[in-house]
Amino acid sequence: MLNAALGPVMSRYLGRLESSAAEMGLIAPKILQSNGGVASPRDAGALAVRALVSGPAAGVMGAVDLAMRAGFPDIITFDVGGTSTDVCLIENGQPLIAHQRDFHGFPVRSPMIDVHSVGAGGGSIAWVDNGGFLHVGPQSAGADPGPACYDRGGLEPTVTDANVVLGRLPPDALLGGRMPIRAELAQRAVAERIAAPLGLGVEEAAQGILTILNENLIQAIRVISVERGFDPRRFTLVAFGGAGPLLASALATELGIANVLVPPSPGLLCAHGLLVADMRADFSITRIGGLEETGASGLNAGFAELRNRAEAWFEQEAIPVTGRRIDHAVDMRYRGQSHELSVAAESGDFDEAGVAALTERFHREHERVYGYAPGGRVQVVTYRVTARTPIGGSAPSIADAAGSIDATATGIRRAYFPVLGGFVDCPIYARTRLPLDAAITGPAIIEQMDSTTIVLPGQTARRGSTESLLLSVDTV
């Protein structure tokens, strides 16, 4: 139903976009899909539902590229904007994939990156309920009027206001000085709407806002890690979006995550993801049957049909043979179950040993996800093939900044850190001027135009060769 409604509208729009690009002498545009790959305008318009969560997927693909180049194949993405936070788990460079998701009550069965979203961001409004309990979000002040400190008529205290009150954000301007703010308006909003009803000081109330927000974010991370059988402590947190680096250190500390990776331009990582994504198409067929009865011949027949469809797609898109890649997977379950697990399959033809290996792989995956594997008879449900080809460009070379760390310091600001007992003099550093391998010990604040990174006491931030910041978090 959704595809029938969205397809014609999207096809017409993408057709005009493609024609305009041709008239201007530009190459044909590629459209990002929810599965993290790009498609031609023709394919994207025909299957419009495959773009429903393409925005968050772009950030995930940018984070994967960044983390793989930095040597971190196992990551959790932490994308925080003004109204929401998107998180996703990536193991060995591969994001988790969901094959069904509901959108406002409409089920969509299509491969998509398994991004979990919560209503928590820089513009999330803090409020006290009738019982005297503090909440943060899901309501947001948005961009207009925005947080109280924006001086655009907003009266409700937000996460941004709390950070201004605590000195985590500058008291006079954001966006590298381009956007003036008024710290006194943030103070007033937190004092009147939060501190007074709760009988707290303004700083205590502001810290309470961040504490409640952090609990909401911890729950979001647990949904895509612990609830799926993964220990978040063995992953690196990749923080991006305007507010991700501002909040990541406290979140990582609570979860026991040792490292936080902050991209060179956290606010632009989604755009980077668009540029490095592979061209991709997914094909599947459902043929329910016992694995023993299906056997090697049945598996081979199912995958052969899908490979033929994949090869036809490669030919349609004029993709050179040397650039073609096909991945195989099969959805499996124990007989009597109503839910399946997707298990990677061999790319070649199966023999009896291959069937036994696939069965054992399913047992292990079931035990990892659910904590047990009953070892009963196994059913094959859906065969899946992913066709892809790399089209993204290489990462830009980074010019090494010269000079000492002291030369990058831009001043000192009073900032609030509970572990230190309150406000302390906190050095401020310019991110763009940090030299290679520069190490900054917290407490410290690292500022740039599109984000601010907080280095907590006991943490160290170091600029690596990929220009990313690596925060080593003290989890003890």
**pLDDT surpassing 50 at residue 475:** no
Residue 106: which pLDDT band, with cuts at 50, 70 and 90?
A: confident
Count Cβ atoms within 10 A of the Cβ of residue 197 and give its class: 0-12 exposed, 13-18 middle, 19 or more buried.
Answer: middle
> Pick the residue with more confidence: 240 or 371?
240
**pLDDT surpassing 70 at residue 237:** yes
What pLDDT, on the 0 to 100 scale, is given for residue 338?
87
Residue 476: which pLDDT band, with cuts at 50, 70 and 90?
A: very low
**Over pLDDT 90: what percentage of the chain?**
74
**pLDDT surpassing 90 at residue 418:** yes
| Cis bond upstream, residue 8 (ω within 30) | no
What pLDDT, on the 0 to 100 scale, is given for residue 298?
94
DSSP letter string, 328-359: EEEEEEETT-S--EEEEE-SS---HHHHHHHH
Residue 286: which pLDDT band, with cuts at 50, 70 and 90?
A: very high
**pLDDT surpassing 90 at residue 73:** yes
The tokens describing 76, both together, are 């959790």
What pLDDT, on the 0 to 100 scale, is given for residue 376?
85
The C-alpha atoms of residue 78 and residue 281 are separated, in whole angstroms, by: 26
Give the residue carrying structure tokens 């540029």: 275
Digit-coded pLDDT (tens) for 135-194? 999 999 988 899 999 999 999 999 999 999 999 999 998 888 888 999 999 999 999 999
**pLDDT surpassing 80 at residue 473:** no
Cβ density class 297-310: b for 16+ within 10 Å, e for less: ebbbebbeebbeeb
**pLDDT surpassing 70 at residue 391:** yes
What pLDDT, on the 0 to 100 scale, is given for residue 399?
52
The residues, ordered by sequence, that sit 6+ positions from 296 with a Cβ below 8 Å of its Cβ are 349, 350, 351, 352, 354, 355
**pLDDT surpassing 60 at residue 402:** no
- Name the least confident of 114-123, 170-179, 400-409, 449-458: 400-409
**pLDDT surpassing 60 at residue 396:** no
Return the bridge partners of 146, or none.
none
On whether the CB atoms of residues 311 and 283 are closer than 8 A, the answer is no
The tokens describing 178, both together, are 């381009």
Question: How far apart are the two ends of the chain, measured CA to CA in Å?
Answer: 51
Amino acid of residue 98: A
The C-alpha atoms of residue 12 and residue 28 are separated, in whole angstroms, by: 15
**Over pLDDT 70: what percentage of the chain?**
97
Q: Which of 137, 134, 135, 160 is nearest to 147 (CA)?
A: 160
What pLDDT, on the 0 to 100 scale, is given for residue 433?
87
**pLDDT surpassing 90 at residue 76:** yes
What pLDDT, on the 0 to 100 scale, is given for residue 375?
81
Give the residue carrying structure tokens 């979000």: 137
Mean of the per-residue pLDDT values of the chain: 91
What pLDDT, on the 0 to 100 scale, is given for residue 438?
83
Domains located in the chain, CATH noted: 53-278+411-429+443-456+466-476 (3.30.420.40), 280-389 (3.30.1490)
Digit-coded pLDDT (tens) for 56-70? 999 999 999 999 999
Indicate yes or no: pTM above 0.85: yes
**pLDDT surpassing 70 at residue 459:** yes
- Name the least confident of 4-13, 394-403, 411-420, 437-446: 394-403
Instruction: Cite the beta strand spans of 92-235 per DSSP E.
Output: 94-95, 97-98, 101-103, 106-108, 112-113, 116-118, 124-128, 134-140, 173-174, 179-180
CA 369 to chain centre: 21
